[in-house]
Amino acid sequence: MTRRKRPEKPAPTPLPDVSRIEEANVSRLGLISIQERVPDSFSSWTVDFRVDGRPARLTCDAMPKYGGVPHGLDGDIATALIDLYVETGSPADGLLNTSAYQILKRAGLDDSGRYYQNLRQTLFRLRTATYTASEAWRDHRRGNWTTVTFNYLEGLEFTSGDEDLGLSRSSTLKIRLAEPIVRSIRSQYTKPLDLEFLTSLDRPLTRALYRLLDARRYPPEDPTVPLPSFTVNLMDWAEACKIVDQRSNKIRATLQGAHEELMERRYLSGVDYEGRGRTQKLTYRFAETDGARPDPPAVIPALTEELRRHRISLAVAQRLIEEFGEAHVQSRLEKFQRLIGAGYRVRSRSALLVDVIRDQDGKYPDSPDPRPVPASADAGDARSAARTSYMPTLAEAVDGPQPLEAQVDSALKTLQFLLRERLSVSEYALLRMGLIVGRPDPLEATRAASKAKVDGTLDAYTADLLLLLGELRAQV
């Protein structure tokens, strides 16, 4: 059994942190077995069910050489990948440039050799396992159910940091998420995710069951309004969980520890069994609502609708207004519109808008140029002023000195976001080494890249950076 050191138990979370989201099809279908270990020979499964009264089917075909079907910690890694992808602005190509260290950190897993080995196996399972959802994948834009076939990861490229060709702290990765998952996220078919609570749970099995339960808690037609309870046939639930041994007593034994932890943490108020053998029914009662059906959703305010028009999900829009207040959000929305109107160039406008709203460090001045623009200046001058303004980096916004590892991680993350495919995976690995030795300096590199982004000179910045990395490679 794979176990982690139990963190100090935080107070129960009364409501999900809707600043984090997950794709609703993935969470509802439960693509990854909740079991912490499965036999290598368990390389396929099929689940038949009904959607809107019609037959539907979900299948998985995997490779025994990589440890059978995706399971256990694979769910934590998959959730982290989607979260990192959304954080980068959900690019249409589905690409995520990241590092092995960043993935483990986001998944809440230990930064140790064993977990880097587990990460490599997980990524190969997610790359090679083929899923087919027959009339079971919701096309949110059209409002119907479709059939899709995909691998969770459509592309995987990474650098190895040791002689075993495995992953290590220095490994950088380029990952391409499955096109159906990318399409769903970009069409905002998502549900809230309390990532802090999820990563605080002790066992992979508990975390996997929590993800599956939390998905069932939200209706597929409207994955934003939670239900008070969920009832399911025990055998159907075993199939949904992808439990290998489907004898009723073994199913209950497999789930027992996860049930106890989720009730101890007050996510569940109770778990009730009714009946015997294969006809048993299982009812989960969620603690936050304690059996009372929630009030009907309120009419969406105009400000929320305005944020949604800029491709911000309903959950995130509501969270921003709740956290910062309507006046602040309205003011920052107007600032965002002035930036765009002045010619500020950005790959993802929705990501920029969220960052402008959350900014507490003055990254975005009220005037696109800190210096007053003469009244006679035309629109072209204004756009030029916007491009030459300076935007502080994420690393500069952190209070107090950071350890070197944190500085390098923060700088690499910023540079990967800004430069994207201008550097290859191996060049990102060399860049990480350079940041560690101060060539380039992490803070200076991110500051210069941020300014190049504003000035529209990222290609020239990249060329200079590659020259520096070439000198570093020659000395290694």
Burial (CB count within 10 angstroms: exposed 0-12, middle 13-18, buried 19+), residue 314? buried
Structure tokens at 226: 């939670």
Q: What pLDDT is stored for residue 382 in this prediction?
A: 35
Cα dihedral: 260, 263, 269, 273 (round 10): -10
Separation between Cα atoms, residue 50 and residue 42, nearest integer Å: 24
Specify the amino acid at residue 395.
A
DSSP lists the bridge partners of residue 33 as 71
Q: What pLDDT is stored for residue 323 in this prediction?
A: 81
Q: What pLDDT is stored for residue 299 in this prediction?
A: 52
Q: What pLDDT is stored for residue 148 in this prediction?
A: 96
By DSSP bridging, strand 130-139 and strand 144-151 are: antiparallel
Separation between Cα atoms, residue 156 and residue 128, nearest integer Å: 10
Separation between Cα atoms, residue 128 and residue 94, nearest integer Å: 17
Q: In a 3-state reduction of DSSP, which class is residue 132? A: strand
- pLDDT under 50 in the chain at which residues? 1-19, 289-298, 368-401
> For 337, what's the count of Cα atoms within 13 Å in the CB-facing half-sphere?
10
Q: What pLDDT is stored for residue 372 in this prediction?
A: 34
Separation between Cα atoms, residue 429 and residue 417, nearest integer Å: 15
Separation between Cα atoms, residue 36 and residue 4, nearest integer Å: 12
Separation between Cα atoms, residue 355 and residue 351, nearest integer Å: 6
Separation between Cα atoms, residue 21 and residue 82, nearest integer Å: 9
Q: What pLDDT is stored for residue 367 in this prediction?
A: 53
CA angle in degrees (0–180, nearest 5) for 16-20-24? 90
> For 285, what's the count of Cα atoms within 13 Å in the CB-facing half-sphere?
10
Evaluate whether 43 touches 63 at the Cβ level (below 8 Å): yes
Specify the amino acid at residue 449.
A
CA angle in degrees (0–180, nearest 5) for 33-268-109? 50
CA angle in degrees (0–180, nearest 5) for 285-286-292? 85
